[in-house]
Amino acid sequence: MKATELSIGFMPLTDAAPLIVAQEMGFAEEEGLRLDLRRAPSWSSLRDMLSFGQVDAAHMLSPVPIAAALGYGGAGAPLSAVSVLSANGNVIGVSRALEEKLRALGHDFDFEDAGKAGKALIAATGQTLRIGVPFPFSMHAELVFYWLSALGFAVPEAVEVRTVPPPLMAEAIAAGEIDAFCVGEPWGTKAVENNVGALLLPGKAIWSFSPEKVLAVRSDWAETETSLTERLIRAVWRAGRWLGDPDSRMLATEMLARKTYLDLSPDLVERALSGRLVISSKGEERSVPGFVEFYHGAAGFPWRSQAEWIALRLAERIGRDPRAAALAARQVCRTDLYRRALQGTSADLPEASSKTEGALSAPASVPSASGTLILQQDSFFDGRVFEPLPE
Amino acid sequence: MTDSISIIVVEADADRAVQIANSLKEAGECEIQIISEPTALSRRIREVQPDVVLIDIENPSRDMLEGLALASGPMERPVAMFVDRSDAGLSTAAIEAGVSAYVVDGLRPDRLRPILDAAIARFRMFQRMRKELSETKRALEERKVIDRAKGMIMKARGVDEDEAYAILRKAAMDQGKRVAEVAQALVTAAGLLS
């Protein structure tokens, strides 16, 4: 049988791994698919390539399809998130100048305590903070806003958020255009490597299990191409499982580093996958288990409660009715398709499609098909919890 | 408010920028500003308050424009993302040509249309030139590889140039590959062995 070719857009980031691995390791082929992977120059271009049918599916920031459903960003077709591709995987970094100030104030760069790091950052910053994020609709922006506002910083008034595409983040901080950034790996590591910044926190120190990227398709495509959608979900899920095995790390690193994908030294790519990050130009290393998660804790499961959380944060910021936004987000998040695609595989899926976000301060088991699904810690740094609408 | 449409063109290449500006001026009454520095983008857009912003899809700075959709202050003007929402055909044509346009809400479609048509035509031309250039480059590189492979065959088998090419062509046909691919394989393999 000849494989069906799907064109898939991605941004050069470590968390594009499930799509790259699905093609390179033959998981797509097992499903009779051939993935034509196309690197996009920016998130907006990728979103438009998807909306206007130049690609069939895309590696996408989890808030983008939700923002589009609320009428923000892109005027194309409605988009659906049919799987989460990865949880966590971002870093927050500061310029060398800000690093010096923080050290002078006694901050130890433990790369763990978001409350402590945030207070130190606010103390070191003064009136305003210029922070770079890759896109206005991104988990990066949401994490930064959540973190700083929880600590009493005037958000968004005192925070000047600048959009900087990930590959340009190191240059932006070197040029003094921003004081800090939140970006996906390996681009934070790149800033450290270029001697222009230091890493302050991993994103997971703010929310320990945040849906970072999703597999997005056009909503009408998901309806008309049900079989292709399901095959793609399965291929990506198997790729995630392969990535979840520490033995895969070296090969995955080599694959991602290639010219057609990230086009960077494997050494930089490897740090995020192993969770051992070099945080400063002094060579200090910090270990973050689960720095980026592709498989464990049902990482691919598109929780409606996570989509609602994103929708409510967006709605609050742009002045929309929260309930309508939450309901729209539910439509975007195709938990139903994900379940159907993985029926008959060994994937163990939770019984519920929505959960209290932030309730788990340690891994815990939840009711699932086989009864043994362990979810990872999902708490917020300030201990708040988020209750979704009833299912 | 004047009658002419105010347009910002984001383009680092000065030659291309001039060509775009000329095409747009032919299409209608407009004032054009060119921005080549991505760092100044947001500030300049706030200052100029253009009706339309045109930017190459390949330009990573395009993401910086997305935040404009959220501008809601009294001094800021709402910007419709991409092109006119009612005209999907125009949007698709723009995307395929490799240009994105950010348009202020409320600009009349009949005034916008000729401007965008001109921009799309110009970007199509750029795209064709880019493609031709890369095709030419590729053809040249392939010719070089084929010449090297021919040289190796001539030396190893003591045949003349035509015969060496015939050998390559036959191998390519037998394997269902292009001559350039077979030549490349030979050159790579020889590199490994020497």
Q: What is the pLDDT of residue B121?
A: 82
Kindly state the helix (H) or strand (E) to which residue A8 belongs, with its residue range: strand A4-10
Indicate if the pLDDT at residue B29 is higher than 90.
no
Indicate if the pLDDT at residue A131 is higher than 70.
yes
| Percent share of chain A, pLDDT over 90 | 82
Q: What is the pLDDT of residue B82?
A: 46
Q: Tell me the residues of A at the B interface, defined by beta carbons under 8 Å apart.
A: 41-45, 48-49, 52-54, 72-76, 134-137, 161-165, 167-168, 175, 177, 317-319
Q: Cβ–Cβ contacts within 10 Å for residue A339, how many?
A: 17
pLDDT band at A158 (very low <50, low <70, confident <90, very high): confident
CB contact under 8 A, A44 and B72: no
pLDDT band at B80 (very low <50, low <70, confident <90, very high): very low
The CA radius of gyration of chain A, in Å to the nearest whole number, is 20
> What number is the average pLDDT over the span B92-113?
72
Chain A contact present for B83, CB below 8 A: yes
The C-alpha atoms of residue B94 and residue B115 are separated, in whole angstroms, by 12
Indicate if the pLDDT at residue B78 is higher than 50.
no
Cβ-Cβ contacts under 8 Å for A12 (sequence gap 6 or more): A39, A166, A167, A261, A262, A263, A264
* Chain B partners within 8 Å of A167 (Cβ): 60
CB contact under 8 A, B100 and A44: yes
> What number is the average pLDDT over the span A179-191?
96
Indicate if the pLDDT at residue A240 is higher than 90.
yes
Indicate if the pLDDT at residue A134 is higher than 90.
yes
CB contact at 8 A, B144 and B124? no
Indicate if the pLDDT at residue A255 is higher than 60.
yes
Chain A contact present for B91, CB below 8 A: yes
CB contact at 8 A, B168 and B183? yes
Closest CA to A317 of A92, A108, A138, A109: A138
pTM given for the model: 0.84
Q: What is the pLDDT of residue B83?
A: 45
SS3 A205: helix
CB contact under 8 A, A41 and B58: yes
- Written as one string, the DSSP assignment of B103-141 is EETT--HHHHHHHHHHHHHHHHHHHHHHHHHHHHHHHHH
* Chain B partners within 8 Å of A164 (Cβ): 63-64
Closest CA to A112 of A299, A274, A289, A246: A289
CB contact under 8 A, B57 and A48: yes
Indicate if the pLDDT at residue B86 is higher than 60.
no
> What number is the average pLDDT over the span B175-183?
92
Dig out the tokens for B91 from the structure: 């949007």
pLDDT band at B67 (very low <50, low <70, confident <90, very high): low
The C-alpha atoms of residue A269 and residue A255 are separated, in whole angstroms, by 10
* Chain B partners within 8 Å of A48 (Cβ): 57, 82, 95, 100
Indicate if the pLDDT at residue B51 is higher than 60.
yes
More confident call, A92 vs B59: A92
The C-alpha atoms of residue B135 and residue A199 are separated, in whole angstroms, by 43
> What number is the average pLDDT over the span A30-59?
93
- Distance from A90 to chain B by nearest Cα, in Å? 18
The C-alpha atoms of residue A86 and residue A99 are separated, in whole angstroms, by 29
Indicate if the pLDDT at residue B69 is higher than 80.
no
> What number is the average pLDDT over the span B168-191?
92
pLDDT band at B172 (very low <50, low <70, confident <90, very high): very high
Q: What is the pLDDT of residue A72?
A: 77
User: Across B75-84, B103-112, B170-179, which has the greatest mean pLDDT?
Assistant: B170-179
pLDDT band at B87 (very low <50, low <70, confident <90, very high): low
Question: Which domains are assigned to chain A?
Answer: 4-88+210-261+294-349 (3.40.190.10), 90-209 (3.40.190.10)
* Chain B partners within 8 Å of A58 (Cβ): none
Chain A contact present for B169, CB below 8 A: no
Q: What is the pLDDT of residue A71?
A: 80
Nearest to B60 among A72, A136, A165 (CB): A165
Indicate if the pLDDT at residue B79 is higher than 60.
no
Q: What is the pLDDT of residue B66?
A: 74
CB contact under 8 A, A167 and B60: yes
Q: What is the pLDDT of residue A24?
A: 94
> What number is the average pLDDT over the span A255-282?
93
Q: What is the pLDDT of residue B183?
A: 94
Dig out the tokens for B152 from the structure: 């190796």
pLDDT band at B109 (very low <50, low <70, confident <90, very high): low
Nearest to A45 among B42, B57, B81 (CB): B57
Q: Which of B42, B59, B66 to mutate to test the interface with A (most CBs of A within 10 A)?
A: B66
CB contact under 8 A, B59 and A319: no
Nearest to B39 among A52, A177, A317 (CB): A177
Q: Which of B59, B63, B99, B105 to mutate to test the interface with A (most CBs of A within 10 A)?
A: B63
Q: What is the pLDDT of residue A148?
A: 93
Burial A92-107 (b: 16+ CB within 10 A, else e): bbbbbebbebbeeeeb
Question: Which domains are assigned to chain B?
Answer: 5-132 (3.40.190), 133-193 (1.10.10.10)
Q: What is the pLDDT of residue A76?
A: 66
Q: What is the pLDDT of residue B3?
A: 67
Q: What is the pLDDT of residue B166?
A: 95
The C-alpha atoms of residue A118 and residue A152 are separated, in whole angstroms, by 10
Q: What is the pLDDT of residue B76?
A: 45
Q: What is the pLDDT of residue B135?
A: 86
- Written as one string, the DSSP assignment of B25-60 is HHHSSEEEEEE--GGGHHHHHHHH--SEEEEETT-T
Q: What is the pLDDT of residue B62?
A: 78
> Considering chain A, what is the average pLDDT of its residues?
93
Q: Of the ranges A36-45, A149-158, A310-319, B157-166, which one carries the lowest mean pLDDT score?
A: A149-158
- Give the chain A residue nearest B40 (alpha carbons): A177
> What number is the average pLDDT over the span B129-153?
89
More confident call, B56 vs A177: A177
CB contact under 8 A, B63 and A134: yes
- Distance from A307 to chain B by nearest Cα, in Å? 20
- What single DSSP character describes residue A389? P
> Considering chain B, what is the average pLDDT of its residues?
79
CB contact under 8 A, A41 and B81: no
Indicate if the pLDDT at residue A368 is higher than 50.
yes
pLDDT band at A75 (very low <50, low <70, confident <90, very high): low
Chain A contact present for B154, CB below 8 A: no
pLDDT band at B154 (very low <50, low <70, confident <90, very high): very high
CB contact under 8 A, B62 and A177: no
CB contact under 8 A, B70 and A177: no
More confident call, A70 vs A223: A223
pLDDT band at B88 (very low <50, low <70, confident <90, very high): low
> What number is the average pLDDT over the span A209-234?
97
In total, the C-beta contacts within 8 angstroms joining chain A to chain B are: 80
Chain A contact present for B81, CB below 8 A: yes
Indicate if the pLDDT at residue B77 is higher than 50.
no
* Chain B partners within 8 Å of A161 (Cβ): 67
Q: What is the pLDDT of residue B74?
A: 36
Indicate if the pLDDT at residue B164 is higher than 50.
yes
Chain A contact present for B89, CB below 8 A: no
